[in-house]
Chains A and B, each alone.
Chain A
């Protein structure tokens, strides 16, 4: 009986020490939650997101020649099949969406929007999706393990999984980041023959968009799509018909990542809280219950 009690005594002391250590570790881990989501721009606070690259797609100027589509496929060495027609896929990072509008159809380029606060980057289980210092959202193919959470986090349904590959990962437009770094034009913009696609800093593109709208208020809808949608994007659109008719969804202006971060940032606090409460319950209730049941057994035997 006495040996049993000592054994119990030690384990209880060890246990309390361990839980104290756990609580300490949780507090120590606290600053980890302060790691900013997008360190290269918003976290530092001194990088002007509008000084970084963006495009402007002018729906009124696109004639649907699909040169940009072709240029993208060649630049990214993709091999689209008939199944990849008019949709984003692992074989097509950018496409021209034809929309029936009276009296003539419209064409809209669809690809990764390169959000200022990308939901996919916050969601990515393995941190394969990242924002580069240029503000471009890229995917590290060596990290992605194909969980496809990004497909659900993306407000634009952009990330595409390679369904044909037995060991598939997610693919998407990388804004021709390599070209950009070498000072070369990005594939789709370079291919556009009608001036529907412009490339520059986000500030320049916004100014261009608003100037065009101001110059031709009767042609353009007064809406620069991507200026504010889900916190802003680097692929901007202006159009002579309503954005919602073009499959450009009506989205709120607040970014997605803070919604999960509001909870994720509290992880250490929640962990310490639960461990603390459970320990307290054991110390106050559990030990007494255990003792009582042992007493009952002893009195029975």
Chain B
């Protein structure tokens, strides 16, 4: 009985998708396909043949986007915290969009990591070969486990989509321990991404290198996670032609600003305490890079969000959250690439294959996100307790 209805349902769903193919989908699909081709090419030709990475710049575009994308996907754990742990039902819809965005973000992260890994065929090595002292070991495990957590957090929405409401309800009820696990795993690896750089005092520029790195990475992941959640929620409601709840947008933006304030204090307080602030005031490339990152990516959005008159305009909220995201992207790229002191005789400009594959992965997850928002009951008209 059920199988027939299911089959019919999926058939009609497939028909709907085909009928409603729109320009966005086609564009994302084409970009994703190009990226897929580039990615497969890389996997079988090797890093030397396909990238401009070298022994002076072992990490490039992929890792820069990877570490940024992990921070952006903080939308998952921050929204699970708001929706489940704080139990704020008003944020129910935004939470469902947030955990979807988080899951797809991590899927993108996994794809980029595989592209970057030399022995990608041996990706499981960290599962059998343990080094509990290694930040990257911890990050690998957390990303793996947290991706599973995100799948669970998205399961009720998928089950509702295929009409298994009872099962969805049961899973929803049992979700709390998994949510706590997810928040814990996220707090661990978001901060450990900062710890990662503590192993590079001889490479990372002093403006960025600080024992506070784990805390900076953690707070900025909350800041950008909530920002991405705001943008994803606004985008999803507009795709579904629904009204975004202004109080939800406002609340999340304020949350992002709160985390942003702590992050700003950790960034600026650190350079004041270390006395580097004087050098940062100078007109010198590294100093300007730091000032650009903090002013554009932290201070300006904070002003936009913390002055009530400015915050009232939704355009300003979108601008501010985009700037937070840009600031974190900037920060992760500075830490991995621009503020790294690389050995003499090496330089790095990402190859076109690196760009195409990166954008392809991003387009792929964006496509799945778009389809999910459109065809799954991610957004609900009326909240069901």
Contacts and interface: CB of A to CB of B under 8 A. Distances in A.
Contacts of A14: 174, 177
Residue of A32, A126, A247 with most chain B CB atoms under a 10 A cut-off: A126
How many B residues touch the partner, as a band?
Answer: 35 or more
Interface of B: 43-49, 53-56, 58-59, 81, 84-90, 116-123, 125-126, 129-138, 140, 173-174, 176-177, 180-181, 183-184, 187-188, 191-192, 195-196, 198-203, 211, 214, 340, 343-345, 383, 385
B199 A153 contact: yes
B292 to A, nearest CB: 23
B85 A128 contact: no
Nearest to A157: B343
Contacts of B122: 145
A260 B54 CA distance: 25
A295 B292 CA distance: 49
Can you list the 8 inter-chain pairs with the closest CB atoms, starting with the nearest?
A146-B118, A163-B48, A166-B46, A293-B89, A286-B87, A127-B131, A148-B58, A289-B87
B121 to A, nearest CB: 6
Nearest to A86: B345
B166 to A, nearest CB: 12
Contacts, number: 228
B135 A260 contact: yes
Contacts of B43: 166
B93 to A, nearest CB: 13
B86 A286 contact: yes
B117 A123 contact: no
A145 B118 contact: yes
Interface string A158-176: 0011111111111000000
A207 interface: no
Contact of B135 (A35, A123, A127, A256): A123
A264 interface: yes
Interface string A252-283: 10001101111110010011001100110110
The A interface, classified by DSSP as helix, strand, loop or mixed, is helix
Contacts of B47: 161, 163, 168
Interface stretch (A15-23, A178-186, A210-218, A238-246): A15-23
A275 B178 CA distance: 11
A263 B195 contact: yes
A18 B184 CA distance: 14
A168 B125 CA distance: 14
B90 to A, nearest CB: 7
A63 interface: no
Contacts of A260: 133, 135, 195-196, 198-199
Contacts of A7: 173
25 contacts: A19-B177, A32-B132, A88-B55, A122-B199, A123-B134, A126-B126, A144-B125, A145-B126, A149-B196, A157-B56, A165-B46, A169-B118, A257-B133, A260-B133, A263-B191, A263-B192, A263-B195, A263-B214, A264-B132, A264-B134, A264-B135, A267-B138, A271-B184, A274-B187, A289-B87
